[in-house]
Amino acid sequence: MSSSSATPLHTVDLIRKKRDGNPLSEEEIGFLVSGAATSTIPLEQLSAWLMASWIRGLTVDETRALAIAMRDSGEKFDPTRLGKIAVDKHSTGGVGDKTSFLVAPIAAACGVVVPMISGRALGHTGGTLDKLESIPGYRTALSLAEFESVLRSCGASIVSQTLSLVPADRVLYSLRDRTGTVENAGLICASILSKKLAAGLDALVLDVKTGSGAFLRKMEDAEMLAALMVATAEAAGTRTVALLTDMGQPLGRASGNWIEIAECVELLRGERHASSEDVRELSLRLAGWMITLGGKASNVEYGYKMAESALEDGSALAVFLKMVDAHGGDVSVFDDLSAFHKPDVTRVLNAWDTGTIVDMDTMAIGWAVQRTGAGREAKDESETPSESLGWDPVDPHAGIAFHARRGARVEKGQPIATLFATTAAQMDEAEARLKAAIRISDEPVGAPPPLVSRIFDRESAEAYLANPVKVKKTRTRD
Amino acid sequence: MSSSSATPLHTVDLIRKKRDGNPLSEEEIGFLVSGAATSTIPLEQLSAWLMASWIRGLTVDETRALAIAMRDSGEKFDPTRLGKIAVDKHSTGGVGDKTSFLVAPIAAACGVVVPMISGRALGHTGGTLDKLESIPGYRTALSLAEFESVLRSCGASIVSQTLSLVPADRVLYSLRDRTGTVENAGLICASILSKKLAAGLDALVLDVKTGSGAFLRKMEDAEMLAALMVATAEAAGTRTVALLTDMGQPLGRASGNWIEIAECVELLRGERHASSEDVRELSLRLAGWMITLGGKASNVEYGYKMAESALEDGSALAVFLKMVDAHGGDVSVFDDLSAFHKPDVTRVLNAWDTGTIVDMDTMAIGWAVQRTGAGREAKDESETPSESLGWDPVDPHAGIAFHARRGARVEKGQPIATLFATTAAQMDEAEARLKAAIRISDEPVGAPPPLVSRIFDRESAEAYLANPVKVKKTRTRD
């Protein structure tokens, strides 16, 4: 009947096709994505298509077509001129997840180049860019030319996304947020991959979180997303693996901004702390894969060893310091990590009972961290970080340091966490939330889940997706 | 996460609820409809809700809540001040469907009042208002005060919808047209009933078309819509029956504007033509129900007899002429029905073969009629007729008169139709389409379907809807 375009493809016909459960072709998806990027298809039509896609599900082919069309909707970064294999790591988001500051310098120290375009704190999860900006002077908003220059000199650069990259994703993500079409494996996968593919990566390592602090709490949903991302990225020509990793408690001992940077600097200096061992181990495993997919190690065991050496011999620290300096950051703040930390309000949370920490509701802990002032409640317009859209500021010194972890035996009155907040009122709310999220009991505690529960490569991802029962289950309900 | 309102209800939550297959409450639907009427909920959120509703289906309770909320979104007509029972008839649209010009005066002549708010030609179907406007001077755009005055003096009035009635339906219908969410029983039902309920009807007779000229060609879809409309309108307090009637060939012998009015005037004068018998019979059956539901006959057989008397004794004709006059129409044009008919181009279509007319693709014939100049391709903004939106004009004298009908034996060269068009080019296209839509063959022809195949009252409609297999089938696919 009506149509919004004079071209042979009519938006309403495509919406109806998807509505009726039929997959759209690459050309049809390209038409819709291009209409989103150029504002030639009205938002109400795009949102009808997104809702039909959410309910009917996207096939792997549709997901790939969507990721590629979004990738191609704007400017792209071309790392081939750097003369090195470009590898990145992407995490689906968690609490205390600071591996980027370790894996980027480790992998760069081992000979690959890491062009990392990162995001900001959102809801219960922290943001890589916010953490970096706790270093005085660190500029995350580089032009593509500056990005290339830092990569050339340091081998790694962590920046915010420019407005010119994947404009279609910015439009569609913002729309999904307003129209209840966020939590869908195909749409999430295409959105993430479009940004990664726009960075021209040769290889990609995905850290898909599971457990109480993950966006997708259910193991089968996380598995579905991981398999779909691997299959899609591989089909688009990027060598990819996905690790399913535990987010059943905060990662490491610090959740916040500066305090996470400080924890990483200690690890980069070769210092070991029992409560940071999980961050160290996960970073080495992720970096091991980055090095291996980047062709610098013949197998992942050797990649892991190379990563460990780079951490222990100071070469990763050297890359990190050089990168911070190249971004305008003041590396002198690393001279005394505690002296630089100047929170407005500090409070120690003592154990209110004697027993074992049997449970940490990590999403709730993430919200407690957010309430200290370290995070932000909701993004302004889009998941896509864009400096021009005016993000709410975060408090670089706020956050929570954990002194006891899941499974630990604690005595009543023993400090289990220290909170750093912007105001006393924020402190009260954060403390109440943190307390409610931690359960101390004499119940027996089961064995903790493994740090890495499953790894998908191309073959295992395709085998997983070929199982229609699981695929259907995950697609039709969240 | 995000929301567009400070009230306790959040649009995104409601979209997600419907997306997940859960029915929305009356309050929740009221919130969305009010947001549509007042433009406080953006179109992209409304369209996500409409798509989720299309795919998941609406329950009877949701359909009723939607119809009532749309009814209450604007001004309403209150016929109780007229001191008579208010009854209307609504048809789902067909080709040559001119029963309104008969049933309104017949029912009014029998003592009920008929406040009929009608539509315009759209796609393959004709429009009651366009047909009336072929009478010089007839004004369809009356204020509610003028409407009431005509009803008081004549007992019947056929008008266009004012902008102040059901504004939410205008917004949502236009959105459905652009977002591929038109053909859904619940949404169609609520849209139709909102307008009928806004006229304050005591009773309503629905003419749900089936067969090749109907919007819903499949019998089970038409049955579902009919049952849903009856159950919904009854639940909203309006006594309602639905007749499923045959649209497997054009109704009567004329399809166009003036030529349909002329056919009705002949019938109102008591003239009988074999090729108009179906219009006469269907009108009497519909009017019989209107009279019965309006409390003027103790049963529908008696209602039918009263209707027939009103047609034969001239009392219906008197109401019709009075109504046309009250609307400013020039009744002198009825003095010589053929003399007033002045088409620009006339052409006779002769049978191209000897045989039987075994098939008439009535939707295709409807498009042939539209191409003569009698109709319009698509509405401008909304199904809702609104004079201020500027409808394309139609040719009052264009259309097609049929000289032979389905099942008739024809000789090669015998005239089977006369076409009246605005231009020679339109004539060529209309003739080609008409010819392609009629099949002459020596195949045996089955018995034609009954004029009225099924009647739903409250009880039988509820019984039909209680059969979950049929309901599910019809709801999930068109």
Give per-residue pLDDT as tens, A275-312. Answer: 999 999 999 999 999 999 999 999 999 999 999 999 99
Contact flag B51-A47 (C-beta cutoff 8 Å): yes
User: How do B203-210 and B87-91 pair as beta strands?
Assistant: parallel
pLDDT for residue B462? 93
How far is the C-alpha of A379 from the C-alpha of A397, rounded, in Å? Answer: 20
The DSSP bridge partners found for residue B360 are B438
Residue B376: pLDDT band (50, 70, 90) is confident
CATH class of B11-71: mainly alpha
Statement: residue B379 has pLDDT above 60 = no
pLDDT for residue A110? 98
Residue B212's CB is within 10 A of a number of other CB atoms, namely: 21
What is the four-CA torsion angle of B104, B246, B285, B158, rounded to 10 degrees?
-10
Mean pLDDT along residues B387-391: 52
A466 three-state secondary structure: coil
Average pLDDT score over chain A: 90
Residue A130 is among the residues annotated as catalytic for this protein:
no
Mean pLDDT along residues B199-213: 94
Residues of B in contact with A48 (CB under 8 A): 47-48, 50-51, 179-181
pLDDT for residue A393? 86
Q: If 0-12 CB within 10 Å is exposed, 13-18 middle and 19+ buried, where does residue A317 land? A: buried
Residue B435: pLDDT band (50, 70, 90) is very high
Q: What angle, 0 to 180 degrees and rounded to 10, lies between the N-to-C axes of helices A43-56 and B43-56?
A: 30
Domain with CATH 3.90.1170.30 in chain A: 344-441
Determine the distance in angstroms separating the CA of A16 from the nearest CA of chain B, rounded to an integer: 5
Residue A191 is among the residues annotated as catalytic for this protein:
yes
Statement: residue A477 has pLDDT above 80 = no
Mean pLDDT along residues B441-464: 92
Query: Mind listing the pLDDT tens digit for each residue in B252-302?
Result: 999 999 999 999 999 999 999 999 999 999 999 999 999 999 999 999 999
Mean pLDDT along residues B455-475: 73
How far is the C-alpha of A390 from the C-alpha of B373, rounded, in Å? Answer: 56
pLDDT for residue A448? 85
pLDDT for residue A468? 43
B132 contacts chain A (CB < 8 A): no
Three-class SS string for chain B?
A: CCCCCCCCCCHHHHHHHHHCCCCCCHHHHHHHHHHHHCCCCCHHHHHHHHHHHHHHCCCHHHHHHHHHHHHCCCECCCHHHHCCCEEEEEECCCCCCCCHHHHHHHHHHCCCEEEEEECCCECCECCHHHHHCCCCCCCCCCCHHHHHHHHHHHCEEEEECCCCECHHHHHHHHHHHHHCCCCCHHHHHHHHHHHHHCCCCCEEEEEEEECCCCCCCCHHHHHHHHHHHHHHHHHCCCEEEEEEEECCCCCCCEEECHHHHHHHHHHHCCCCCHHHHHHHHHHHHHHHHHHHHCCCCCCHHHHHHHHHHHHHCCHHHHHHHHHHHHCCCCHHHHCCHHHHCCCCEEEEEECCCCEEEEEECHHHHHHHHHHHHHCCCCCCCCCCCCHHHCCCCCCCCCEEEECCCCCCEECCCCEEEEEEECCHHHHHHHHHHHHHHEEEECCCCCCCCCCEEEEECHHHHHHHHCCHHHHHHHHHCC
Domain with CATH 1.20.970.10 in chain B: 11-71
Mean pLDDT along residues A443-453: 88
Contact flag A179-B55 (C-beta cutoff 8 Å): no
DSSP string of A82-95, one letter each residue: GTS-BEEEEE---S
Residue B316: pLDDT band (50, 70, 90) is very high
Q: Which of B176, B406, B454, B475 is catalytic?
A: B176
Closest residue in B to A3 (Cα) is: B178
Query: Mind listing the pLDDT tens digit for each residue in B127-174?
Result: 899 999 999 999 999 998 999 999 999 999 999 887 788 999 989 988
Contact flag A1-B378 (C-beta cutoff 8 Å): yes
Contact flag A178-B44 (C-beta cutoff 8 Å): yes
Statement: residue A142 has pLDDT above 80 = yes
B469 contacts chain A (CB < 8 A): no
Phi, psi of B2 (to 5 degrees): -90, 160
Statement: residue B51 has pLDDT above 50 = yes
Residue B387: pLDDT band (50, 70, 90) is very low
pTM of the entire predicted model:
0.82
Contact flag A44-B177 (C-beta cutoff 8 Å): no
Contact flag B19-A51 (C-beta cutoff 8 Å): yes
Q: B79-336+451-465 has which fold?
A: Pyrimidine Nucleoside Phosphorylase; Chain A, domain 2 (3.40.1030)
CATH class of B344-441: alpha beta
B50 contacts chain A (CB < 8 A): yes
Buried b (16+ CB within 10 A) or exposed e, A103-118: bbbbbbbbbbbbbbbb
Give whole-number Cα distances, B270 to A353, B110, B318, in Å.
96, 17, 12
Q: Worst-scoring range by mean pLDDT, A240-244, B235-239, B256-260, B398-402?
A: B235-239
Query: Mind listing the pLDDT tens digit for each residue in B219-244?
Result: 888 999 999 999 999 999 999 999 99
Residues of B in contact with A1 (CB under 8 A): 123, 177, 182, 378
Q: Does the structure's ipTM exceed the value 0.90?
A: no
Query: Mind listing the pLDDT tens digit for each residue in A63-102?
Result: 999 999 999 999 999 999 999 999 999 999 889 999 999 9
Query: Mind listing the pLDDT tens digit for each residue in A28-74?
Result: 999 999 999 999 999 999 999 999 999 999 998 999 999 999 999 99
